[in-house]
Amino acid sequence: MTILTSPRNAGRRRPLSRPFNWRRAIALTLLTLAIAVSILPFYWVLRTALSSNGSLAANSANLLPADFNLGAFKRVFGLQSASEAIAEGGSGASINFWQYLWNSLLFSGITTACAVFFSSMAAYAFSRLRWKGRDAVFSLFLATMLVPPIFTALPNFLLIKNLGLLNSMLGLVLPYLFMTPFAIFFMRQFFLNMSREVEEAAMLDGAKHWRIFFQIIMPNAAAPIATLALLTFMGQWNEYFWPLLVGTSEESRVLTVGLGVFKSQSPQGAPDWSGLMAATLVSATPVLILFAIFGKRIVNSIGFNGTK
């Protein structure tokens, strides 16, 4: 590692006359390796999902799908009869990823929309309004970031259970609806840096705070709101622990939980690898699509995301 550390070797300052730079070549090789390690597993998932279980063992190192077929995807979406599924190495247990996809979409969509909106409202109060005790209350919100989710998950589970909301969408989304401390922190940071001029002009016209918030602040904050919504949505999409506690019935399972169930149903000894990888790919697809569209926004948000 040490040979690469001199700032004088930095790309921008490399002498142009030198025909071949060994250090740069080594650096590029290592970087390529890291990228390969990050990305190639996804190809392997796809390749396995398109293979049939019976041929995997004999072709375990073949780079192309072994005996190409779409049976695994049919199995995942419940399009195969139990006997067909068992013949192809599946468990034969009924599994329906359409249902889980829909639940994941609802769970992530509802919580993102509500949490981002309510957190923005709070962030407005913590940045553009002046009131006594403001910073103390804000610190209280920030402090909750330090509480490990499992600690609150136990009592929250009891609350949801007592409300009779186990295995319901409402029970799943409730704890995430009102705010996330990170979202408040994120939006506040942006609001603090907004210019006061437009706001003050509107104030002179006698506009009320809620009008300023909806007509001036929110439209001007469209970009950070979009970033926050993306990060929140992906975080919720990947959530496992809470849905595992609260949404265990077939009707209320989200994708991550469904994936775990699918794995545990898979025959011991000879797992349904192609089915499992097809299910994995299906679960990953929405995030992959979001990443393909908004990749730049997501990548550039990372420096900020550091406190999460």
Partner 1 sequence: MTTLTKQPDPGLSARAPRKSRKRGKPSDGFRGIGDLKVALFFIAPAMVGLILFYLVPTIRGIYLSFTEYSILGDPEWIGAQNYERIAKDPLFWNALGVTAEYVLINIVLQTALALGLAILMHRVAKSTLIRGALLMPYLMANVIAALLWFWMLDYQIGIINQIIEWTGLPRVAFFGSEQWAIPTQALINTWRHMGYTALLIFAGLQAIPNSVYEAASIDGSKAVSTFWRITLPLLRPVLVLVLVVTVIGSFQVFDTVAVTTAGGPVNATRVLQFYIYQRAFNEQDFGYGSALAVILFLILAIVAFIQMKFLRGNQSDLD
By CB under 8 A, the residues from 66 to 125 that bind partner 1 are 118-119, 121-122, 124-125
Regarding 222 and contact with partner 1 (CB under 8 A), the answer is: no
* Among 82-90, 95-103, 165-173, 205-213, the segment contacting partner 1 (CB under 8 A): 205-213
From candidates 98, 210, 211, 293, binder to partner 1 by CB under 8 A: 210
- In angstroms, the CA 255 to CA 263 distance is 12
Q: Which of 308, 307, 268, 263 is nearest to 283 (CA)?
A: 263
Window contacting partner 1 (CB under 8 A); options: 67-75, 77-85, 87-95, 290-298: 290-298
CB of 129 to partner 1, least distance (A): 4
CB-nearer residue toward partner 1: 59 or 94: 59
Tokens of 257: 């939980």
Nearest by Cα to 254 from 138, 71, 110, 147: 110
State how far the Cα of 24 lies from the Cα of 13, in Å rounded to an integer: 12
**Which amino acid, residue 136?**
A
Site for partner 1 in 127-146 (CB under 8 A): 127, 129-132, 134-135, 137, 140-141, 144, 146
- Identify the residue among 70, 161, 201, 214 touching partner 1 (CB under 8 A): 161
Residues 6+ apart with CB under 8 A from 11: 24
Q: What length does the chain have?
A: 308
d(CA 144, CA 13): 45
Segment interacting with partner 1 (CB under 8 A) among 34-42, 70-78, 92-100, 199-207:
34-42
Which candidate, 79, 80, 82, 81, places its Cα nearest to that of 92?
82
Q: How many residues bind partner 1 (CB under 8 A)?
A: 107
What token pair was written down for 295? 């990749």
Q: What is the C-alpha to C-alpha distance for residues 170 and 193, in angstroms, rounded to an integer?
A: 36
- Token reading at 104: 């994941």
- By CB under 8 A, is residue 304 in contact with partner 1? yes
Locate 157 and state its tokens.
């589970």
Q: Return the number of the residue (83 or 132) whose C-beta is nearest partner 1.
A: 132
**Which one of residues 56, 85, 173, 228 is an interface residue with partner 1 (CB under 8 A)?**
56
User: Of the ranges 38-46, 70-78, 79-87, 91-99, which one interacts with partner 1 (CB under 8 A)?
Assistant: 38-46
Asked if 105 and 96 touch (Cβ cutoff 8 Å), the reply is: no
C-beta of 114: minimal distance to partner 1 in Å? Answer: 8
Which of 17, 151, 204, 205 is in the footprint of partner 1 by CB under 8 A? 151
Closer to partner 1 at the Cβ: 80 or 301?
Answer: 301
Q: How far is the CB of 59 from partner 1 (least distance, A)?
A: 9
Closest CB to partner 1 among residues 85, 116: 116
